[in-house]
Amino acid sequence: MSPRLSEEHLEELARLTETAGGVVVSMLRQRVSSPNPRFYIGEGKAQELKELVLASGVELVIFDEQLSPAQGKNLEDLLGVRVMDRAELILDIFATRARTREAKLQVELAQLEYLLPRLRRMWIHLSRIRGGIGLRGPGETQLETDRRLIGVRIADLKGKLREVAKARAVQRRGREGEFRASLVGYTNAGKSSILRALSGADLFVEDRLFATLDSATRVVDLGSGHQALVTDTVGFIRKLPHHLIASFRSTLEEAREADLLLNVIDASDPGWEEHWQVVHEVLEELELTHRPQLLVFNKVDRLTHKEEQDLRVRIRALEPTPAVFVSAHRPDSLSRIKDALKARVRARLLRLTVSVPFEDGETLATLHREGEVLSQRENGARVEVDVRVPGSLMGRLRQRQGIEILEKA
């Protein structure tokens, strides 16, 4: 890993720590060809870390890489303070951000599965303190029980999440026939801001990592009688814990069912290529890379003209995925997303000429409401309508008496 990339990783770890409520006192780096089985870092660097802990009086040490249970225990025995890794820190942040019952179940399951092999070390800390970073979420009472009880709790959570998944499947069936898009992307890329600007809905938006975990679906009016259901999903981040991805699968099923993935990228971030790669890898793990995608480069209002031109050049190195450049703070720029959605909605429509009895106002109203009427003319006692309609409406038209479908274009 290059020094610049290493610096970016540590800066992000510092932001995660601050998001969790901690204060960063100092940072320590070491390049290792392979992790030390005992401390992950070298023994000399571990002693240097111990001296730094003693001198600064810190209460918590956080590693950017994932530690094995044995490495965590050895480091805590050496340092005499609580030791966490990046994965555990992210789980802790999710515990503070979970609002809905589903999100709380998902986070608790991920935490328990992650902490299960580390229980012996956790029990020591729970006997000394209450609360604090890394000890929130499922609650101390769960961690004070034995492995059997925690196993029972994990099974119970999985059962409840299966019920949630069934309920979501029922909701999705009720939306069949609607064009659906899902916002995916790196955390803090601006997905919620874009959804709020597109839909006009009142959504919680905050400039911080993992500001929201709960998926939200809103209707977006595309104009010309078209609309799309757009869903905001949980943000991704490098080294996202696998337990977390697994437990959030029911939420991410919305992306699996989407007709289009809107991959939101922070255009103002110099490291956007790595963020794009992280999102690609998570989508690959979720088996979603085959879904059609539109790259949405957000926050272009923060770029100079030259920076935006340079960005367009860098994008050509990516796979041939269409891209738009927008800012959630410039509503006029969002028309590029709406136009892209509208084009895909229209591509799914059937173009018909429908002959309707003049007195059948209900069918005429349905064509105007659910289709895109291109032209309309009277022909004796009937009205001929050139229209684009979704397949679901086509089936209903065939079942109505007196309706003639004259041609398909």
Contact yes or no for 383/356 (Cβ under 8 A): yes
pLDDT digits (tens, 9 = 90+) for 126-151: 444 444 555 555 544 444 555 777 78
Q: Which helix (H) or strand (E) holds 162?
A: helix 147-174
Q: pLDDT per residue over 266-293, tens digit each?
A: 999 988 888 898 888 888 888 888 889 9
Q: Is the pLDDT of residue 185 over 70?
A: yes
Decide if 312 is inside a domain.
yes
* Whether 184 and 309 share a structural domain: yes
Q: Which of 105-119, 148-162, 213-227, 352-366 has the highest mean pLDDT?
A: 352-366
pLDDT average, residue stretch 9-31:
90
Chosen domain end from 59, 90, 121: 90
pLDDT value at residue 170: 77
Whether pLDDT at 214 is above 50: yes
Residues 50 and 111 in one domain: no
Radius of gyration of the chain from Cα atoms? 26
Mean pLDDT on 9-26: 90
Instruction: Note whether 165 and 147 are within 8 A (CB).
Output: no
Task: Note whether residue 134 is domain-resident.
Answer: yes
Please report, for the domain that includes residue 55, its CATH number: 3.40.50.11060
Q: What is the mean pLDDT of residues 105-111?
A: 85
Residue 129 domain boundaries? 98-160
Residue 70 in any domain: the answer is yes
Q: Is residue 40 scored above 90 in pLDDT?
A: yes
Question: Residues 297-339: pLDDT tens digits?
Answer: 999 999 998 998 888 888 877 666 789 999 988 988 999 999 9
181 in Cβ contact with 215 (< 8 Å)? no
pTM of the model: 0.77
Q: Which residue has the higher pLDDT, 278 or 5?
A: 278
Percent of the chain with pLDDT over 90: 30
Phi, then psi, of 37 in degrees rounded to 5: -60, -25
Asked if 233 and 198 sit in the same domain, the reply is yes
Tabulate helix, strand, coil % of the chain (nearest 5): 50, 20, 30
Which of 377, 329, 334, 342 has its CA nearest to residue 356?
Answer: 377
Q: Does 204 have pLDDT greater than 60? A: no
State the sign of the Cα–Cα–Cα–Cα dihedral 194, 252, 240, 57: positive
Asked whether residue 230 falls in the same domain as residue 376, the answer is no
Q: Cα separation of 133 and 124, whole Å?
A: 15
My answer on whether 79 and 135 are in the same domain is no
Q: What is the pLDDT of residue 294?
A: 93
Confidence of residue 244 (pLDDT cuts 50, 70, 90): confident
Final residue belonging to a domain, choices 90, 109, 134:
90
113 against 297, higher pLDDT: 297
Is 160 in a helix, a strand, or coil?
helix
Residues 245 and 329 in one domain: yes
Residue 166, in any domain of the structure:
no
Least confident of 74-83, 169-178, 227-236, 365-374: 169-178
In a shared domain, residues 334 and 222: yes
> What CATH number does residue 374 fall under?
3.30.70.240
pLDDT, residue 142, reads 45
Could you give the CA distance from residue 71 to residue 83 in angstroms, rounded to a whole number?
10
What is the number of domains present in the chain? 4
Tell me the CATH number at 204. 3.40.50.300
Instruction: Flag whether 112 is in a domain.
Output: yes
Q: 199 and 272 in one domain?
A: yes
Residues 12 and 102 in one domain: no
Same structural domain, 323 and 248: yes
Two tokens at 166?
Answer: 């069934």
Is residue 152 one of the residues assigned to a domain? yes
State how far the alpha carbon of 350 is from the alpha carbons of 2, 40, 139, 221, 402, in Å.
52, 60, 54, 20, 20
Same domain, 271 and 182: yes
Within this chain, do residues 183 and 323 fall inside the same structural domain, yes or no?
yes
At 176 the pLDDT is 67
Would you place residue 390 in the very low, low, confident or very high pLDDT band (cuts 50, 70, 90)?
confident
Q: Reply yes or no on whether the pLDDT at 37 is more than 60.
A: yes
Residue finishing a domain among 90, 112, 127: 90
Predicted local confidence at residue 152, as pLDDT: 85
User: Is 172 contained in some domain?
Assistant: no
Q: What is the mean pLDDT of the chain?
A: 83
Q: Say what the pLDDT of residue 216 is.
A: 77
Instruction: Determine what percent of the chain is predicted with pLDDT higher than 70.
Output: 84
Q: Is the pLDDT of residue 125 over 50?
A: no
